[in-house]
Amino acid sequence: MGFVTKEKFLSKDFFITYAWLIGGCFVFSAGAVLFAEPYGFAPGGTYGLSMVFHNLWGWRTEVAALFMDIPLLILGIYFLGAKFGVKTVICTFAIPSFMWLIHHTYGYFPLLESAEVIAQLEALAASLDISTAVGMEQFTVAMRPLLQEQLLSSIFGGIVYGIGIGMIFKSRATSGGSDIIAMILNKYTRISLGQLVIIVDCTITLTTVIAFGDWRLPMYSWIIVFIEGKVIDLVIEGAKVHKTLMIISDKHEEISEIILKDLNRGGTIFTGKGMYNGVERPVIYTILTRREYSILLSRIAQLDPQAFINTLDSNEIMGKGFKDLSIEA
């Protein structure tokens, strides 16, 4: 993973980066315990597979995942070199540690169920010795029919997972796990890394059908994976609050005045040559917020209803009037 970086020890960037990393590990752990694990979901990765083992045989999710992640980390270093660094090692141990902490302070109960269901689950847990694998297996088997909020939990699970993984990626780190499998396969095949990640995670998700014979479980898990991906992009890139515009109009001077004086924004005018008739015309290039875009669109509609406007969502704008490039670099 080329995006894994090292920060100067005890620098401001060091503390910010590791705050994102540790925070992301905690949020990911909370998503796993509170939204995915109780329902038998398997939203990809070694933790998804460990949740299948947890619901099938009563194995502790965090322990099973740790026992898979450590060999994968060693394999990754052997096949790919020491690319991962201390951040991946921290993720490998921080996530199961946080899961253990949540289990021992909160329990194994889903967050979104009603008080009546939680009371039934607490009584069920009290009647079994869930400190053993047999007791945990009995608990998970008896618990699943009582649960009612599968859809809501898959939606919020995807949001929480996405925030957690997005924070880890924001720290310019990788959580390892099944990503390492995809990276090893990518080295020895012609399949892209993105496709391999999808293949590995979907294969893990489908194990819920083999384990429980219930096609609803992978479908709920796919909801988590889809929402998670969208939220990861939102955390990393931020909300798309800016619009990039290219405007062609006979009223380009008036439009430029509106941008400069009314919206207090800048822009660039360059000459474009039409492919059909070969006529050269001025093209206005500018970047606005959503509010400014709405104002300009309304004014252009009054000035020149025949204007040509190409609008693009902009993930990140750096430079004068926007983000400081020296901070973001």
Query: Which residues of the chain fall below pLDDT 70?
Result: 1-9, 80-85, 176, 179, 183, 192-195, 197, 237-240, 319-329
pLDDT attached to residue 124: 93
135-153 pLDDT, tens digit per residue, is: 999 999 899 889 999 999 9
pLDDT attached to residue 3: 45
pLDDT attached to residue 1: 44
> Do 167 and 234 form a contact (C-beta atoms < 8 A)?
no
> Do 112 and 149 form a contact (C-beta atoms < 8 A)?
yes
| Nearest alpha-carbon partner for 43 in 133, 162, 180, 131 | 162
274-293 pLDDT, tens digit per residue, is: 888 888 899 999 998 888 88
> Do 271 and 281 form a contact (C-beta atoms < 8 A)?
yes
pLDDT attached to residue 169: 78
How far, CA to CA in Å, does 181 sit from each of 41, 49, 68, 87, 157? 21, 14, 11, 18, 24
11-67 pLDDT, tens digit per residue, is: 777 888 889 999 999 999 999 999 999 998 988 888 988 999 998 888 999 999 999
Q: Looking at the whole model, is its pTM more than 0.85?
A: no
**SS3 (DSSP) at 69:** helix
pLDDT attached to residue 152: 95
Domains and CATH numbers, the chain: 12-237 (no CATH), 242-328 (3.30.70.120)
**SS3 (DSSP) at 263:** coil
**SS3 (DSSP) at 204:** helix
pLDDT attached to residue 2: 45
